[in-house]
Amino acid sequence: MTSGDLIHEVVEVGQGEGVFRRAAAALGRWDTHRSWWLRVYPADEPPTPGQTVVIQVQAGRFSPLALAFCDRVTDVIDEPRRQGFTYATLPGHPERGAEAFLIEWDADDRVTFTVRAVSQPGWSLLRLVRPALAWLQGRATRQYLRAIARAAVAQNA
């Protein structure tokens, strides 16, 4: 991930192995991409390198309108204290770029979740509505962070 608009958010979601395991499991289930307005397909498969996923964005809570875009998982991290993945946009996506999601359990027992994205408008007309794209990407990032924070503290996950 090299050029374009950058999002880099790191939040501490708790401490210890249990928190790490719950957060990593939630990330592997795509919990980050599950809400009334955001969905991922296939929803029942963990991220794997080369996998194509469809991200669906609902236009409104009661609207039948939705937009769907394709991304490809380019990297998966599966280490004892680090779990995550990266996906990159595919042709036809309104943006060009990549987004990475990483759960880390550090030597101080802290568990953090990092979301890092680099993107730029993929369609010329979208340059005119760049602030709206930035708002939507910020909203998605907040959704990702909330989903992992909730999963990290859940006792029965």
- Global pTM value: 0.86
| Closest to 23 in 3D by CA, of 78, 104, 91 | 104
Q: What are the C-alpha distances in Å from 7 to residues 39, 65, 67, 137, 152?
A: 20, 27, 22, 9, 22
- Asked whether the beta carbons of 155 and 25 are under 8 A apart, the reply is no
**Assigned CATH class of 5-152:** alpha beta
pLDDT, tens only, 94-132: 788 999 999 999 999 999 999 999 977 666 666 666 666
Domain ranges of the chain: 5-152
